[in-house]
Structure 1
């Protein structure tokens, strides 16, 4: 039986992915920072500010923020993002660099916070044409978490009746019609990123693509 990774291991993976993303962003110009990401209406810079916020808010402050936002997650996220966005993209990146090794999080679901950086890193890399991808080890942990439960995205619901098979690693999940792809493509699809739908193959690929679009 495969042993589950320790929380320390998951945080180490998250720190490595944050550092890789910060390195990728160092050479962006103002137009690239303002480019739309794969994450709703947020720009590249706003996604980075959101990642800084996510690594800066512990449980007590998260509860207070959600109460202040009347339990509206979108409003909570926008307020915390605004706190961490700098006057310039360079300042926004500097603030992100300060939390690269943070273990602060709203809850103890460490795999989810690893997923936060894995997914949002691709939200900015894909539109920018940046080729770097997260380690298969990191993405496998996120994929397994997403397949087991709905957390911040409806990932478990998205794969009902499907059997996911990674083509580059050990990840498999679910029972039903096969869907194949890299671990990253499967993870991003579970996170509702339709831009990765074209990277999927197998009889169930169209179903998962449709669910990315519909938000199921």
Structure 2
């Protein structure tokens, strides 16, 4: 009997999240496409182009871009984003639709790609007032990954020394001052989105507030010191 392939299951979750996001954005106005997202400095449209870039970027192309940008990772992200924008919002959305079922990834774990899709999807939806009920199983898998990894965001360092408890699912991890809330709110907080802190409870929320805005070096140093 063949064992279930967890990677295949995660890709199915990613594809479902992409399809749901494309459907949510189908009727946006030009003004809505220009709305600032929760991803600092990027509009809704630019974040969607960034998602398309990530779904089309394999490790070889990623490394080639890094070298081309002289190891300036922010410059590489901006370059790849610009490649996927198109001339109009309709072209940006159509480009995203073309990669809905892609399994290409730039050398990161598949669960990290699930995180990119969910977190950036919320970066887009929240400012537009759109709500999605993500499957708790997908959110729980992502929360567990973020709590134990700093790739691609410094989520583990951000919540080091805190006890995280989901109010709507099985996720619970860590030790220290408690932070409780929905699994989505915990995921977004781990990804560095302070907009979701007001949805959380517990003594550890103040710690998250203090850590928000700290740079990578400061977060890593903080985690090592505890």
Q: TM-score range by the shorter chain?
A: over 0.9
Aligned counterpart, 1:132: 132
Deviation larger for 15-24 or 202-211: 202-211
Contact 1:190–1:212 at 8 Å: present in 2 too? Answer: no
What's the secondary structure of 1:208's corresponding residue? helix
Secondary structure of 1:214's aligned partner: coil
Deviation at 1:212, TM superposition (A): 2.6
Match of 1:177 in 2: 177
Aligned to 1:64, what secondary structure does the other structure show?
helix
Matches of 1:210 and 1:101, distance apart in 2: 39
2:188 alignment partner in structure 1: 188
The answer to whether the 8 A contact 1:189-1:209 is kept is: no
Structure 1 residues not aligned, in runs of 5+: none
Deviation, 1:161, is: 1.2
User: What TM-score, normalized to structure 1?
Assistant: 0.95
Query: How far apart in 2 are the matches of 1:117 and 1:5?
Result: 20
1-structure distance, mates of 2:107, 2:139: 20
Separation of aligned partners in 1, 2:76 and 2:173:
32
Give 4+ residue runs of structure 1 displaced > 4 Å after superposition. Answer: none
The count of aligned residue pairs is: 214
Question: Match for residue 109 of structure 1?
Answer: 109
1:191-214 per-residue CA deviation (whole Å, 9 max, x = no partner) reads 000100101101111111332343
Mark the CA change 1:98 to 1:193 in structure 2 (over 3 Å): closer, same or farther: same
Distance in 2 (alpha carbons) for counterparts of 1:20 and 1:137 = 16
Segments of 5+ residues of structure 2 without an aligned counterpart are 220-226
How far 1:149 sits from its partner (Å)? 1.1
What is the root-mean-square deviation of aligned Cα atoms in Å?
1.5
In the other structure, the counterpart of 1:44 is 44
Q: Establish whether residue 203 from structure 1 lines up as the match of residue 217 from structure 2.
A: no
Give the match for residue 156 of structure 1.
156
Aligned residues of 1:55 and 1:105 also touching (Cα < 8 A): yes
TM score, norm. by length of structure 2: 0.91
Helix, strand or coil at the partner of 2:102: coil
* Aligned-partner Cα distance in 1 for 2:15–2:118: 11
Q: Which moved more, 1:197-206 or 1:47-56?
A: 197-206
Residue 212 of structure 2 aligns to a residue whose secondary structure is helix
Counterpart-to-counterpart distance in 2, 1:82 and 1:4: 38
